[in-house]
Amino acid sequence: MNIIQLGSSSGEVEVIEDVDQGMKVFRVNNGHIDFTVSPDYGGCLISLRNKNDVEFMTSSFPTGAPKPGGFFDNYFGGVQPIVFDEEMGEDFTKSRTSREKMSGKSIEIGHWRGVEVNWVGNLQKITRGVDFKIRYLTTAHSPIVLIQWVIKNKTGGPMKFWPSILLDPDLSNHLSGGSYQTVWDGESVELRQGMVPLAVTPSENTLWLKPKTGHSETTGFGFMMAGQDSRMLSASLGEALLLAAVDGMTWLLPGEERVITASLVVDPEDFEDLRVLQSELGRLL
């Protein structure tokens, strides 16, 4: 039986509102991990660190720019929520979600505390009038960042689009030369980063990005998305790795709401623990 500790009954989660290089940011510290979210910067989680000060994210903060190689026009990095629909002219690589006007606030839901970023679609025709709230939550002394994305159609007509979460890990330091473990075709596999392009669509929505063997400051981090209908994609070449979780095509009738749940887990100990947590993600809030 797998037992996963989500946090501690002692301690607290500190949320501090600040300004960094002219951008509003929220800094969250739970005594075990700390992370930073900016509503002025596409609602992205721009930094995630463990108690040994290992940074897991890379970002172009404070200025969004094309992804190196020019394949992603509005690259912001870190954990980046985007919405696209190529049939409606909003290509995945040109999505303007991160350019929307957003606001943020601290939020508390039960034992969970963190940041909520909200916006109403305007720049993108496919989401105009749709209400978005993305929450980055944690509990005291927890290794988990729970990501909850609530999408509600407040328009008078049906809406169709593809909500996605992009993740850009920092592979320049502690995770350089490592590997990632996932489930592929029903089997647990560990894949090494290398100079041969490799794209994988896991058969389960769980992935563990690991450092080289014997690293003492971190065991890496896990990334997962609730449910089996959504799909994750991992694409790597050398020290470049892009992770994406696409929640499938979303149809929302007027007044309908959809909740997407994902999670980051810092310094996991066992891949089976991550798989169990993924199976329970939708019930944590």
pTM: 0.92
Please report the pLDDT score of residue 215 as a whole number: 79
Please report the pLDDT score of residue 72 as a whole number: 76
Please report the pLDDT score of residue 200 as a whole number: 65
Residue 241 in any domain: the answer is yes
Q: Which residues contact 214 (CB under 8 A, 6 or more apart)?
A: none
Please report the pLDDT score of residue 194 as a whole number: 55
Residue 143 in any domain: the answer is yes
Please report the pLDDT score of residue 228 as a whole number: 73
Residue 275: its H or E element: helix 271-280
Tokens 């490799």 correspond to: 198
Q: What is the 3-state secondary structure (H, E, C) of 46-105?
A: EEEEECCCCECECECCCCCECCCCCCCCCECEEEEEEEEEHHHCECHHHCCHHHCCCEEE
* Residue 45: count of CB within 10 angstroms of its CB: 29
Q: Return the CA Rg of the chain.
A: 18
Please report the pLDDT score of residue 1 as a whole number: 46
Residue 8 in any domain: the answer is no
**Dihedral sign, CA of 238, 84, 257, 78?**
positive
Q: What is the CATH number of the domain that holds 191?
A: 2.70.98.10
Residue 6 in any domain: the answer is no
Please report the pLDDT score of residue 235 as a whole number: 65
Residue 271 in any domain: the answer is yes
Residue 116 in any domain: the answer is yes
Structural domain range at position 247? 14-283
Residue 164: strand, helix, or coil:
strand
Provide the residue-wise pLDDT of the chain in tens; the chain has 285 residues: 455 556 666 679 999 999 999 999 999 999 999 999 999 999 999 999 999 999 999 998 998 877 765 567 888 889 999 999 887 777 888 889 999 999 999 999 999 999 999 999 999 999 999 999 999 999 999 999 999 999 999 999 999 999 999 999 998 888 888 888 888 878 888 877 654 445 667 778 899 999 987 778 999 999 999 887 657 777 665 556 778 888 777 899 999 999 999 999 999 999 999 999 998 988 888
Q: Which residues contact 7 (CB under 8 A, 6 or more apart)?
A: 30, 111, 138, 139, 140, 141, 142, 144
DSSP string, 102-120: -EEEEEEETTEEEEEEEEE
Residue 9 in any domain: the answer is no
Domain count within the chain: 1
Residue 1 in any domain: the answer is no
